[in-house]
Structure 1
């Protein structure tokens, strides 16, 4: 199966209308023919937290969202993309609950990673733990086994509480590989065509290493799961937040990757009215990427852009985003901060609000995203030019909720009346339908306060020209009559 070179939508299962049936209705009534690239439905499975990212299983759909029939129905007209958290599963899952009851006697015991699987005596040295790329204060959690009273220390990369609610899986175990195969087989039966391998950078646990993106083992696992997915007519998309060179290694291996650099590059270009860094990046980046501006988390900074920014410049961008109502996710580990203390992991806020709710600046950002080689994804809040949900962030205590508001059908209808939304829909249609986007891409030399990007195929071409002084964007292209036409975005 080939991934379509057209625009995709990213949405939670309940964010556009309330559930999967409403999502289907919204796609049919309001966005018919808009998302020809597919629909990325953020985890619709039963989950114990993290808005779906602590799944209990992938064999069921959370009843409040609907069922697999609803997924299949959406999949009749759209390629469906779902997440598979290959690194971990919920502590509330039947698998881990059985382990909590019976310990090593559990039929699921081999799914997990007691510390003595890596260190025979169960005691890693402080130096070995220090070397591990941490997401928590320490990578382990202790649990008391009900039947025996024995304390088991198991690997838990993620989770905000101790003991963690997300338990790491042992991908070297035959039991885990069979479980992953069962999940992927179920996806295939239900019209799922693309699977994002979430947190895949953490799956290899190897003594004496960082336990993050361990080579060559990471490629061996990707080869295994890639072959399995191909046999099920599924494409895989590894998701790795790391130094950009790590991403580029995946691209060199032929994998799809995420362009986590582009959102910040575009943001700083529009804020500083200077396109020098953006143009340099667009000339040298891998082409086989999924692109985005916004998502359910935030605009990535560290570690994705390490060595690609000066912290003094980044602080100015961050401070302006804070003035515009955004908030920050910070790097917790001191050893991963910059020498001068800069520690911004992600800038959180709707992309529209981060651009000061300026319609022209927002459309310029989308135009650059759509012209950058790759598969463009549009997050549902960005689709409706949503603004920062300060109340949601305050009530929940989670800064990410600033960009996670749900829209009722009435609110969707109101959003569609906005001029900026109609202009965006027109731009999406152009990106979906113009043939030159399957041709050759070029960054045309231009002044530092503008950008010129071009696609050519046979006798067709389209050229994007943006003036960053006034954010005016126009596209020159050859229409079906062979005439050159100018389209003001």
Structure 2
């Protein structure tokens, strides 16, 4: 059950070497200071510090066991991550696809570029249009056991192969994953990178409406069977958070850190006061995350010169703030 109390966000090995030591630290030093724990990805993974999960049914052995997590859940509400956009290339699903190619039961889980685009495409215009996380087309060449080679969609690191969330086999995987998380005490699922999950021809493939709402509603209905709430995670302009809140989902207030820092550095409270009056209330406030402090999130809450001023003040104390707000 989610309480209106602080939630600690931590890797399984950040406060001690594993889940057992994490519980010892919480019980000894924090006790009643927090109500919940967001355990950043603790599943077996092949990259990106857990964000390339290979198996959602297991806990990485170096961290501990499901029993350790369930024990934490006896005292704290728990949030798990679900990377709904992608899965590890070492997952059983993708390995089966590489081995059996067109005969694989999981072939439709992945976005095959030659099937997504018409003949003679993608062209430069198509690739330029896509909202990317790297300076090249978000595709990866795959060599199959039958000797054939083709490209699949790959938004993030080389280990993270994108999923086709529109296909029945992927929808079944999503249902099974949520059910399994529920069986281990999950109260809240953070949907990591969900805004990339819908790919549609002739769009930028980022937060595509109305399709993104259909995806979220399908996931919400499944999670509701187990009384699990959703927290769709997105680092972008605060207007997108407002949209998510209007559909009655929890959000992160990723704009708050930058606005708070501006207020502290400038001595002016008007921007912070204005934001607190209009920011959604069904939210998790945050002053930092494992991704760092968002700048684009606060654009237009703070004027460009106020963002620049705050960033410059942060540079003075050694912060690594991206000078380009968004791709």
Structure ranking higher in strand proportion: 1
> 1:134-153: per-residue Cα shift (whole Å, max 9, x none)?
112212111111x2221111
CA drift at 1:122: 6.9
Structure 2: distance between partners of 1:322 and 1:245: 27
User: How big is the alpha-carbon RMSD for the aligned residues of Structure 1 and Structure 2?
Assistant: 1.7
Structure 1: distance between partners of 2:140 and 2:76: 40
- Pick from 320, 323, 326 the counterpart of residue 313 of structure 2: 320
Q: What SS does structure 2 have at the residue aligned with 1:327?
A: coil
Paired residue total:
326
2:64 corresponds to which residue? 66
1:288 corresponds to which residue? 282
**What TM-score results when the alignment is normalised by the length of structure 2?**
0.95
Q: What SS does structure 2 have at the residue aligned with 1:268?
A: helix
Inter-CA distance 189–324: structure 2 relative to 1 (3 Å threshold): same
CA drift at 1:307: 2.9
Q: Which 4+ residue blocks in structure 1 deviate beyond 4 angstroms?
A: none
Structure 2: distance between partners of 1:59 and 1:122: 40
2:267 corresponds to which residue? 273
2:82 corresponds to which residue? 84
Whether 1:188 aligns to 2:182 is: yes
CA drift at 1:311: 3.0
Q: Is the 8 A contact 2:256 2:298 kept in 1?
A: no
Structure 2: distance between partners of 1:269 and 1:256: 25
Q: What is the correspondence of 1:38-187 to structure 2 with a 5 Å cutoff?
A: 38-121=36-119, 123-136=121-134, 137-145=136-144, 147-159=145-157, 164-187=158-181
Structure 2: distance between partners of 1:102 and 1:121: 25
1:398 corresponds to which residue? none
**What TM-score results when the alignment is normalised by the length of structure 1?**
0.64
Whether 1:309 aligns to 2:309 is: no
CA drift at 1:31: 1.7
Q: Is the 8 A contact 2:139 2:154 kept in 1?
A: yes
- Structure 2 portions without partners, runs of 5+: none
- Structure 1 portions without partners, runs of 5+: 331-341, 346-489
Q: Is the 8 A contact 1:115 1:123 kept in 2?
A: no
Q: Please say which structure displays the higher CA radius of gyration.
A: 1
Structure 2: distance between partners of 1:8 and 1:63: 24
Whether 1:21 aligns to 2:20 is: yes
Inter-CA distance 122–221: structure 2 relative to 1 (3 Å threshold): farther
CA drift at 1:60: 0.5
